[in-house]
Amino acid sequence: MTTIRIKKIVSKLFIISIFLLFAGYSVIAQTTFEWPSFHGADRSNRSTETGLLKSWPEQGPELVQTISGIGEGYSSVSIAGGMIFTAGSVNSQPYLYAFDMSGKLAWKRPAGKAWSTNMSWASTYTGPRSTPTYDKGVVYFLGEMGLLMAFDAKTGKEIWQVDLAKEYDAPPTDYGYAESVLIDGNKLYVRPAGKKGHQVCLDKNTGKQLWANTQIPGAAGYTSPVICDIAGIRQVIGGSSVCYYGADAATGRLLWKVDAVNGQSLNINNVIVNGNNIFISTGYELGCMLYKLNVKGNEIVPEKIWNAAIMDNNHGGVVYYNGYVYGSGSSVRGWYCIDYMTGGQKWRSTSDEGTITFADGMLYALDQRGIIKLLKASPEKYEVAGSFKLPSGGKGSYWAHPVVCNKRLYIRHDDKIFVYDVGK
């Protein structure tokens, strides 16, 4: 082989290697810098991004974008396929919205009927609660009154819809459907909480039923499903008004359940799974608890490891990181750090309750008055690395969960989404 030919081959290989390097980076960037569903792709509520600010200036990070005109509601944002998705209600009509990354509206579609209630005091909490779920070019959304829809993410063209309340003979929920659906392979998991199916699994491509479980007790819960493998069994975990449960992801068979009855029969938070352990935090003075799922023959038997009347988180979410759980309490308010395996309190701040997310070793803790704090995710002490007051996007509390994606912090308040640059 001549020297010239060797040089040509080496040159071609170099070009190919450079192409593959950048092609690989593009793929990584596409998957890393996305937040395709409520609490992220794995429902851990933890961003995998690095290179973020470890402290904020006094006025907070730079506000780089404000998206307006989304109406009332508490839906968070999902970010995938180069688009931003959320939902809101304008003139009592809920809409699903899609924006490009510059904040320009790509499309909006009606998302069923607005939630209605006979509880006059609760009627002020108007607007959608569910966060859209993106998967392979399709966005799925559960409306306030149980209309589940699938749309082409780029065009907004409807692919299918199912009226869960009608299909599964489900009574109206007290606070409207608030679940953000979960996609796993070709399966979509959702909880109609009806007589013909409490937890169900649908074909994500058609909306057709694959299985329905009618064994789960209680009225509708407001958790979003989490899926995991425990003892070789893939299971979907959710909550009703009176319990948390695990169902076989393939067949819907009820595998286990544990009682969780608080003062209002409202279970809202997702579980945290670590190994064979399930962490539950729920509001109205019930607190938090840890169960170990033991396999005995063909059965899964939950064993309570501990429970504590602290960090009774209503609906703000909790985060697990390096053996500790972070979140806020409601009855005894404040931000908490708790040892995951023992339930021991490491620290607590005396402040308002709120929502939380995690990125790059830091906690983004947003209280319901609109004050957001950057906290170090460490059991050593409660350490604030920055704090500022958000602008107002309209009326109501700051309840939508914050999102960190592509070095941006997204916070929705009523009619607006505020976007901050949190990259170094």
Taken in order 101, 105, 110, 112, the sign of the CA dihedral is: positive
At 117 the pLDDT is: 75
Whether the per-residue pLDDT at 307 is higher than 90: the answer is yes
Average pLDDT over residues 320-341: 96
Average pLDDT over residues 55-82: 97
Write the pLDDT tens digit of every residue in 15-31.
333 333 333 322 223 35
For the chain, the average pLDDT equals 91
Q: Which residues contact 297 (CB under 8 A, 6 or more apart)?
A: none
Average pLDDT over residues 230-245: 94
CATH 2.60.40.1120 holds for 33-421: no
The three-state secondary structure class of 14 is helix
At 32 the pLDDT is: 60
Whether the per-residue pLDDT at 118 is higher than 80: the answer is no
Q: How many CA atoms lie within 13 A of 179 on its CB side?
A: 32
Average pLDDT over residues 218-243: 94
Inter-CA distances, 333 with 263, 271, 336, 354, Å: 16, 20, 9, 9
At 64 the pLDDT is: 98
The three-state secondary structure class of 32 is helix
Inter-CA distances, 299 with 80, 296, 323, Å: 38, 5, 28
Segments making up each domain of the chain, as ranges: 33-421
Spell out a b/e string for 169-187, using b for 16 or more CB atoms within 10 Å of the CB, else e.
Answer: ebeebbbbbbbbbbbeeeb
E strands of 283-323, at which residues?
287-296, 299-308, 319-321
At 120 the pLDDT is: 65
**Which of the pair, 27 or 8, is modelled with greater confidence?**
8
Closest CA to 267 of 234, 237, 227: 237
Write the pLDDT tens digit of every residue in 188-198.
999 999 999 99
Question: Distance between CA atoms of 60 and 276, rounded to whole angstroms?
Answer: 40
Q: How confident is the model at residue 1 (pLDDT cuts 50, 70, 90)?
A: very low
Question: Distance between CA atoms of 192 and 418, rounded to whole angstroms?
Answer: 32
**Which of the pair, 320 or 125, is modelled with greater confidence?**
320
Phi, psi of 65 (to 5 degrees): -160, 145
At 122 the pLDDT is: 63
